[in-house]
Amino acid sequence: MISPDRINQIGILTGGGDCPGLNAVIRAAVKTALIQNGWKAVGIEDGFEGLVGDGKTRSLVFDDVKDIIDKGGTILGASNRANPFDYRTCIKKKVVSEDRSSQLTDKLKELELDALIIIGGDGTLSIAAKMHTMGIPLVGVPKTIDNDIGATDITFGFDTAVNTATEAIDKIRTTGESHHRVMVVEVMGRYAGWIALNAGIASGADIILIPEIPFRLDEICRVIKDRIGLGRRHSIVVVAEGAKSEGGDIMVKRIVKNSPDTVRLGGIGKMLADKIASEISIEARDTVLGHIQRGGSPSAFDRVLATRFGAGAVGLLADGGFGRMVCLHNTRIESVPIEDAVRQLKKVTPELDIVTAAKATGVSFGI
């Protein structure tokens, strides 16, 4: 593995889904590499596609990263379909899997890349951990709106997603108030309830349903009936896409066979609205916020955190911290082994003070 003092040029890639703050990380990493270390930077386009598929690379200089700190998405593009260890192509309508990891070392030599900064969620970082075992010098940066990556207090993108969801719920509330309806809002988060929990509390939701606390439909209906009895003729229910009832299963919207993550969650919001309407003499409507939570300009908090992560990743490379991921611990930027960070998803635990505070203020979790 290369010595840090022999690094001259680094590659930067963004894998998985897009996320507010990615451009801020890229900007900080490029500027830190150029200013602090005198390194050159190369952008690898469309995630791992740029290394093992038909993707492209391009040099990154100051002009390439100016005025992008406030922009959503990623200037490098992203892909969750180019896993070097499980590269999938469609041949004659049949999906074929191929291990292309053996091409990585030669590709890095061809591009004259001495080290990599890999920005992504648990899937992308799991790939990075495998690449590190091959001797490829790299560091990771945690990215996801779901906030479910272990070993970091928070991931960039999460704050923006919560703000976006909160603003949407605030607007939906006025319709519920005007028409005396139950408004069910389905938010993202996959198998973790962080977005639903935080956006639900911030918007003053009456019921919050998350994957970590299975709900009972009869309890949800009881809460709504009690509210009606007190003259509160509308209710807001915020539900995570991965929430499920006691003894029930997570609702799957569809299966995408040629994707590394084949399961697409969804449908819990409509199911709940239909059930509530059938059990209670009140109109219930569902709204799925969807990808609006992943888009748009990052919040100030996410811009600052992403900048700290980007600069920290370059510093980690310079210190020889290969195979590690930058993280936030008690307001400080630190690092942990990537394999530790992706060992298990970080989920909400019912004992957290944020859950306790929500219950103390009258929020129901459907139990």
130 shares a domain with 8: yes
Residue labelled with tokens 């970080």 = 346
Phi, psi of 149 (to 5 degrees): -85, 130
Domain endpoint, select from 232, 262, 294: 294
123 shares a domain with 15: yes
132 shares a domain with 189: no
206 shares a domain with 76: no
Q: What is the mean pLDDT of residues 103-116?
A: 95
The set of catalytic residues is 146
Domain endpoint, select from 260, 294, 328: 294
66 shares a domain with 109: yes
Domain endpoint, select from 238, 266, 294: 294
Residue 260: the pLDDT is 63
109 shares a domain with 185: no
In a domain, 123, yes or no: yes
Q: What is the C-alpha separation between 155 and 56, in angstroms, rounded? A: 27
Supply the CATH number for residue 202's domain: 3.40.50.460
Chain-centroid distance, C-alpha 125: 12
The C-alpha angle with vertex 208 and arms to 205 and 212, in degrees rounded to 5, equals 160
Whether the per-residue pLDDT at 100 is higher than 70: the answer is: yes
Q: What is the pLDDT of residues 328-343, one digit of tens each?
A: 999 999 999 999 999 9
100 shares a domain with 30: yes
Q: What is the C-alpha separation between 276 and 282, in angstroms, rounded? A: 8
Residue 162: the pLDDT is 98
144 shares a domain with 223: no
114 shares a domain with 26: yes
In a domain, 349, yes or no: no
In a domain, 352, yes or no: no
Residue 9: the pLDDT is 98
In a domain, 85, yes or no: yes
Q: Are 114 and 130 in contact (CB under 8 A)?
A: no
Count how many domains the chain has.
2
Supply the CATH number for residue 9's domain: 3.40.50.450
Which residue, 135, 59, 139, 76, is CA-closest to 104? Answer: 135
Chain-centroid distance, C-alpha 268: 20
Q: What is the mean pLDDT of residues 96-123?
A: 93
Read off the tokens for 119: 């920005």
Q: What is the mean pLDDT of residues 212-223?
A: 97
Of the two residues 184 and 248, the one the predictor is more confident about is: 184
In a domain, 357, yes or no: no
CA torsion through residues 26, 32, 35, 40, sign: negative
In a domain, 355, yes or no: no
267 shares a domain with 182: yes
| Domain coverage including residue 26 | 4-156+298-341
Residue 258: the pLDDT is 66
173 shares a domain with 134: no
In a domain, 361, yes or no: no
Rounded to the nearest 10 degrees, the angle between the axes of helix 194-202 and helix 158-179 is 50
pLDDT band (50, 70, 90) for residue 54: confident
8 shares a domain with 149: yes
